[in-house]
Amino acid sequence: MWCTEGDHNSHLRPSGRQIDCVGTKGKSPRLFTPADSSVSSVAIRQSGGYVATVGTRFCTLNWEDQSLTVLYTVDKDKKNNRFNDGKVDPAGRYFAGTMAGETAPGVLERHQGSLYVLFPNGTVEKYFDHVDISNGLDWSLDHKIFYYIDSLSYSVDAFDYDLQTGKIANRRSVYKMEKEEYIPDGMCIDNEGKLWVACYNGGRVIRLDPETGKRLQTVKLPAEKTTSCCFGGKDYSELYVTSAWGGLDPDKLARQPEAGRIFKITGLGVKGIAPYAFAG
Q: Which residues are annotated as a binding site for a divalent metal cation?
A: 135, 185
Cβ-based neighbours of 8, under 8 Å, separated by 6 or more = 23
Distance of CA 234 to the CA centre of its chain: 21
Taking alpha carbons only, the member of 199, 208, 219 closest to residue 173 is 208
**What DSSP string describes 80-117?**
TEEEEEEEE-TTS-EEEEEEEPPSBTTB--TT-EEEEE
Binding residues: 82, 84, 102, 135, 185
Catalytic residue from among 160, 185, 190, 249:
185
First to last CA, the chain: 18
Catalytic site residue 20?
A: no
For 160-207, what is the HEC assignment?
A: EECCCCCCEEEEEEEEECCHHHCEEEEEEEECCCCEEEEEECCCEEEE
Report how far residue 98's alpha carbon sits from residue 62's, in angstroms, rounded to the nearest whole number.
23
Measured distance CA(253)–CA(30) in Å, rounded:
26
CB half-sphere exposure, 159, CA atoms < 13 A: 17
Please list the active-site residues: 185
